[in-house]
C-alpha cells in the first residue's frame, strides 16, 4: 500500500469517527433536552431558588397565569414570612416524583386549557422549631413562549 493511500484511509477513518462522535453527542443532547427533562429541570430550578430564599428568582419561573395571581413583591414577602418566619426554618430539603405527562390540563375550572403539561409531586421537608414535617404539592410544568414555566393547581 502506498503512503498516500494509507494517509487517505486514515483521514477517511478519522472523519467517520468524528461524524459518529458528533452524532452520538447530538442524540444525547436531544434526549437531555426532551420536554420531560426540561419540565423536571425547571421544577428543580424553582425549588433550588426557594431553598436559598431567592424568591425573586423563583417567581420569575412562574407561568404568566401564576404571575397574575400575585405580584412579585407580595410573593417574596409572603414566602419569606410564612415559610421561613412562621415555620422557624432557614431552608428545607425537597424531593420530586417522576414526571407524569398530561395531554390537556386547566389551572382552574375557568382557566384556559393547556396542552403538554408535566405533573411532578414535590415534597418539601422542613425541620424547624415546631418539629419536622413534610409539605406535598403537585407542581405543573408547561411551555410558554418556548420557555418552561411553573403553574400550581387552583381547581376546586
Supply the pLDDT for residue 101. 98
What is the rounded average pLDDT for all residues in the chain?
86
Mean predicted confidence (pLDDT) in 100-113: 94
- pLDDT above 60: residue 95: yes
Supply the pLDDT for residue 130. 83
What domains lie within the chain, and their CATH numbers?
35-152 (3.10.450.100)
- pLDDT above 70: residue 44: yes
CA distances from 21 to 14, 48, 49, 58 (A): 10, 33, 36, 37
Distance CA(94)–CA(26), nearest Å, equals 31
- pLDDT above 50: residue 27: no
Confidence of residue 50 (pLDDT cuts 50, 70, 90): very high
Supply the pLDDT for residue 19. 53
Question: Which alpha helices (H) appear in the chain, and where do they start and end?
Answer: 3-32, 35-51, 55-60, 64-67, 72-79
More confident residue, 149 or 91: 149
Supply the pLDDT for residue 13. 66
Contact status, residue 126 vs residue 132, Cβ threshold 8 Å: yes
Supply the pLDDT for residue 81. 86
Amino acid at each position: 500500500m502506498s503512503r498516500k493511500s494509507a494517509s487517505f484511509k486514515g483521514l477517511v477513518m478519522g472523519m467517520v469517527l468524528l461524524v459518529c462522535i458528533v452524532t452520538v453527542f447530538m442524540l444525547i443532547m436531544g434526549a437531555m433536552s426532551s420536554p420531560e427533562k426540561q419540565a423536571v429541570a425547571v421544577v428543580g430550578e424553582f425549588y433550588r431558588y426557594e431553598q436559598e430564599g431567592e424568591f425573586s428568582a423563583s417567581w420569575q419561573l412562574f407561568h404568566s397565569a401564576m404571575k397574575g395571581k400575585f405580584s412579585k413583591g407580595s410573593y417574596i414577602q409572603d414566602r419569606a414570612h410564612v415559610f421561613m418566619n412562621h415555620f422557624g426554618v432557614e431552608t428545607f430539603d425537597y424531593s420530586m416524583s417522576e414526571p407524569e405527562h398530561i395531554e390537556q390540563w386547566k389551572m382552574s375550572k375557568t382557566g384556559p386549557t393547556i396542552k403538554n403539561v408535566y405533573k411532578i409531586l414535590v415534597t418539601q421537608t422542613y425541620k424547624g422549631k415546631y418539629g419536622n414535617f413534610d409539605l406535598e404539592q403537585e407542581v405543573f410544568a408547561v411551555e410558554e413562549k418556548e420557555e418552561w414555566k411553573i403553574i400550581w393547581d387552583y381547581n376546586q
